[in-house]
């Protein structure tokens, strides 16, 4: 799935720079005036009005301002003079948000923000998305000093659920605005009323709410360098089914697959900075105990200046999630041998995929693809994991390069490099290769790379059953990445 992004900042649509004082946020006085004793109120979900609109129609404007509030990390907190901040909503993930204009006795130009957390312990299934019709406890915030959507955009990047997609985005131009299309989603080039261009990942109708929550949770937690910029999640009902939209920054450089197929194989010097960025992104992911599980060229997007960004977290999960970690999922040619064999795996499956990416960047070929682009044949070759680096173009490259490839694209999880250790490899450091590509070093590599491995799994051995997104729209390349998704 190709998506594009550009830049990183604190909000989806930042206001123009100004010397004016920053915005001020208050809890509505209905919640109380003591930070330690604030309490939510029952929200009104009846009728077609949003929760914010329903509250604004019933609430009394005079003396509406309560305690000041703020957002710290993923939490909503109350501020009390002379006291430490008190956490009111520990996590804004999957909290439903709506807003409307609001008048107070002191200021007729205010906005009211409604926040309705999910039922405790239920996540996305504890929201109105899952048909929760009964009244639910919520929080109401009054905003001064900025437009309501600026504050809501700040909540969006923290995983709040929004329903105002049609008011927030339109196609970026006349004609075809499809950036990429796969089995589970379509990505569109769209823009906000401010003119800011974004990539919108429209999920196909799905009832797998937990997968949506896992992806958003990972994106919210992982925001940082070399990770796709996430701007929010929206949902609406279409033909009695739920459709989700994830919003991302726009990447003008396209994806890494397109770059390699268009420009050809790279030199070591050209591939190194790109690969360093990929490894840094993976290290960041793994440091948060998350595994991506679909590391491939199509999921590496290029920001301005060619900075690589990891994207598509649809298969990402916590390594402590036993149910998810038992799934066999990924993309043919990039998935690790242990996944093909159905044996337990860990974060190092991502590093195997990273090694395949490096191999492809340098050669414009895949190490284990089959001539007829057959996924089962590719899996058998992956399980064998016989890596041949004594032929062009690798025979003329440094032994340090061949060494890091062998330590990433290897059958044994125990022997495979972690992202952190790969970043410390001598090839990454760009150290000189005194041994060059001598016959002795080639002979040593050949011995290391030809450990006998059973070629064919037995007929009873299961094949990968879980699917990721199919890739479309790329020119074909001999031996290039297969579009088959397992």
Q: What is the pLDDT of residues 441-457, one digit of tens each?
A: 444 444 333 333 333 33
Band the pLDDT of 284: cuts 50, 70, 90: very high
Provide the β-strand partners of residue 72. Answer: 75
> CA–CA separation, 356 vs 354, rounded Å?
5
Share of the chain above pLDDT 70, in %: 80
Residues 334, 335, 341, 346, Cα dihedral to 10°: 140
Q: Is 191 annotated as contributing to ligand binding?
A: no
DSSP state of 146: S
Q: Are 182 and 296 in contact (CB under 8 A)?
A: no
Closest CA to 217 of 324, 96, 123: 123
Provide the β-strand partners of residue 244. Answer: 235
Listed in order, strand segments (DSSP E) in 136-266 are 137-144, 161-162, 170-171, 178-181, 185-191, 197-203, 230-238, 241-249
User: Hey, CA dihedral for 135, 139, 145, 150, is it positive or negative?
Assistant: negative
Helix (H, G, I), strand (E, B) or coil at 114: strand
Whether the pLDDT of residue 135 is over 60: the answer is no
Looking at residue 353, its pLDDT comes to 98
Whether the pLDDT of residue 283 is over 90: the answer is yes
**CB neighbour list of residue 401: distance below 8 Å, 6 or more residues apart:** 268, 362, 394, 427, 433
Sequence length of the chain is 486
> CA–CA separation, 467 vs 66, rounded Å?
49
Helix (H, G, I), strand (E, B) or coil at 33: coil
Looking at residue 218, its pLDDT comes to 97
> CA–CA separation, 402 vs 435, rounded Å?
12
Band the pLDDT of 256: cuts 50, 70, 90: very high
Flag the least confident range among 59-73, 172-186, 210-224, 378-392.
Answer: 59-73
Q: What is the pLDDT of residues 64-104, one digit of tens each?
A: 788 999 999 999 999 887 677 899 999 999 999 999 888 77
> What's the whole-model pTM score?
0.84
Q: What's the mean pLDDT in 170-195?
A: 90
Looking at residue 257, its pLDDT comes to 97
Whether the pLDDT of residue 281 is over 90: the answer is yes
> CA–CA separation, 109 vs 160, rounded Å?
24
Q: Are 251 and 303 in contact (CB under 8 A)?
A: yes
Residue 409 vs residue 442, higher pLDDT: 409
Q: What's the mean pLDDT in 377-405?
A: 96
To the nearest whole number, what is the mean pLDDT of the chain? 83
Looking at residue 21, its pLDDT comes to 52
Helix (H) or strand (E) holding 376, with range, is helix 375-384
């Amino acid at each position: 799935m190709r998506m594009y992004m550009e830049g990183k900042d604190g909000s989806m649509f930042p206001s123009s720079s100004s010397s004016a004082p920053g915005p001020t946020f208050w809890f509505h006085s209905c919640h109380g005036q003591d930070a330690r004793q604030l309490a939510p109120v029952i929200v009104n979900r009846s009728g077609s009005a949003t929760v914010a609109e329903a509250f604004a129609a019933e609430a009394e404007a005079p003396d509406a301002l309560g305690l000041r509030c703020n957002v710290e990390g993923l939490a909503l907190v109350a501020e009390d003079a002379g006291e430490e901040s008190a956490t009111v909503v520990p996590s804004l993930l999957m909290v439903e948000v709506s807003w409307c204009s609001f008048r107070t006795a002191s200021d007729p130009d205010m906005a009211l923000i409604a926040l309705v957390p999910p039922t405790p312990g239920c996540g996305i299934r504890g929201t109105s998305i899952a048909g929760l019709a009964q009244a639910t406890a919520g929080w109401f915030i009054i905003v001064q000093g900025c437009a309501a959507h600026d504050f809501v955009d700040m909540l969006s990047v923290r995983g709040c659920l929004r329903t105002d997609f049609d008011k927030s985005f339109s196609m970026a131009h006349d004609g075809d605005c499809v950036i990429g299309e796969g089995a589970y989603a379509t990505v569109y080039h769209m823009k906000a009323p401010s003119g800011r261009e974004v990539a919108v990942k429209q999920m196909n109708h799905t009832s797998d709410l937990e997968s949506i929550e896992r992806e958003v949770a990972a994106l919210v937690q992982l925001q940082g360098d070399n990770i796709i910029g996430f701007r929010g999640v929206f949902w609406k009902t279409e033909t009695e089914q739920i459709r989700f939209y994830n919003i991302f920054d726009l990447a003008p450089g396209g994806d890494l697959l397109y770059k390699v197929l268009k420009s050809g194989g790279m030199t070591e010097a050209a591939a190194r900075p790109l690969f360093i960025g990929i490894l840094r992104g993976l290290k960041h992911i793994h440091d948060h105990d998350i595994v991506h599980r679909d590391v491939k060229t199509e999921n590496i997007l290029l920001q301005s200046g060619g900075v690589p960004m990891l994207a598509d977290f649809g298969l990402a999960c916590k390594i402590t999630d036993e149910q998810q970690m038992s799934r066999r999922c990924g993309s043919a040619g990039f998935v690790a041998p242990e996944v093909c064999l159905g044996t337990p795996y860990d974060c190092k499956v991502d590093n195997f995929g990273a090694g395949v990416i490096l191999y492809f960047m340098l050669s414009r070929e895949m190490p284990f693809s089959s001539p007829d682009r057959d996924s089962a044949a590719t899996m058998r070759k992956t399980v064998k994991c016989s890596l041949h680096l004594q032929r062009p173009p690798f025979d003329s490259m440094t032994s340090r390069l061949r060494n890091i490839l062998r330590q990433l694209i290897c059958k044994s999880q125990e022997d495979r490099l972690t992202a952190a250790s790969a970043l410390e490899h001598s090839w990454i450091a760009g150290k000189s290769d005194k041994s060059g590509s001598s016959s002795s070093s080639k002979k040593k590599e050949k011995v290391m790379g030809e450990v006998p491995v059973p070629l064919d799994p037995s007929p009873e051995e299961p094949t990968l059953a879980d699917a990721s997104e199919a890739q479309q729209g790329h020119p074909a390349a001999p031996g290039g990445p297969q579009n088959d998704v397992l």
